[in-house]
Chains A and B, each alone.
Chain A
Amino acid sequence: MNPPLVRFLILAALTLSSMACAPRQQFYWGSYEDSLFSRQQHAGAEGEASALTMLASTITDAPSDAAQKVGPGIHADYGYLLLKQGRPDEAIAELQKEASLYPESAQLMNTMISRIQERKKKDAERKPAP
C-alpha cells in the first residue's frame, strides 16, 4: 500500500474516532472542577478564596441565553463558599438560584437556607439593642 494512502487512512480513522468522542456540552462549567481541585490542593482559607474567585467568574462568564445553563452544583457551591466567608445574604441568593435552575436540589437548598436564616436571627438577638 502506498504511503499517502496509509497516511490518509490513519488520519481518517483518527478523525472519525475523535468525532465519536467529541463531547456535546449540556452545561457551562467554566472552572468549576478546577475550583474543586484548588480547594483540594490548598485546604482552608487560601484555597477557598481562590475557588470563590473562580466560581464568581464562571457564573459571570456563563452565556446569558438559556441554551447552556450554569452546570449543576455551581451556584450551590458558590453560595456555600460565600457563607463560609461570612456573607449569608449573598449565599442565600445563590442557593435560591440553584434551587430554581435545578428543582432536584430544592430540598437541600431550602434546608440550608432555613438554617442560615435561623443563625442570622440568633446573631441578631445576641446583639445588644442600639
Chain B
Amino acid sequence: MKNNEYMNPYVAGVLLGLVLIATVYITGRGLGASGAVKSVAATGVKAVAPEHYETSAAYQDYAAEHPDGTMKSWLVFEVIGVIIGAFISGLISNRIGLKLEKGAAITNRTRIITAVIGGLLFGFGSQLGRGCTSGSALSGMAVMSLGGIMTMMAIFGGAYSFAWFFRRLWIK
C-alpha cells in the first residue's frame, strides 16, 4: 500500500460489505457504533453516581439489557476491534500522528469546540434515532430495514440542509 494514499472507494466499499455479510451470517445482527459510546456513558454514571443509576428508568432499561455488566456488550467489543483495525490501517498507510483537520477559515480551538458540540448533537440524536450511520443506515440497508433507511435519509437530508449555514467551518 502506497504511503498516504487511500484505497479505491469502491473496493473499500466491497470490503466493508463483506465484513457486514460475515457479521450478519455469524451473529444475525449488523455492525454499529453509538451503542458502545452509550455503554461508556452508562458505566461512567454507574461508577460516579450509583444511586442515580439505580433510580433512573433509562439506565435501568440499559441495565436490564446488559445483565453481565455495563461494558459487556457486543458493540463494545466491536468498537475495540474498530480501534485496532483502524490503527493497523493507519500504520501500514503511514497516517498515524496527533493532528486535526479543519477548514482554513477557523482556528484549532474553534475546531475542537465544534467537534465537541457536533459529538454532543450526534450522541443525542443517535439515541433518539436508535442508531447512527453504522447501525441504522449501513446495517439497515443490508437487512432492508425501513426504519434504518428512513433514519439514513434523515441524517443525510439533515446534513445537506444545514451544510450551507456551517460552510465557514470547512471551506473558504
A and B form one complex: no
- A residues contacting B by CB (< 8 A) are none
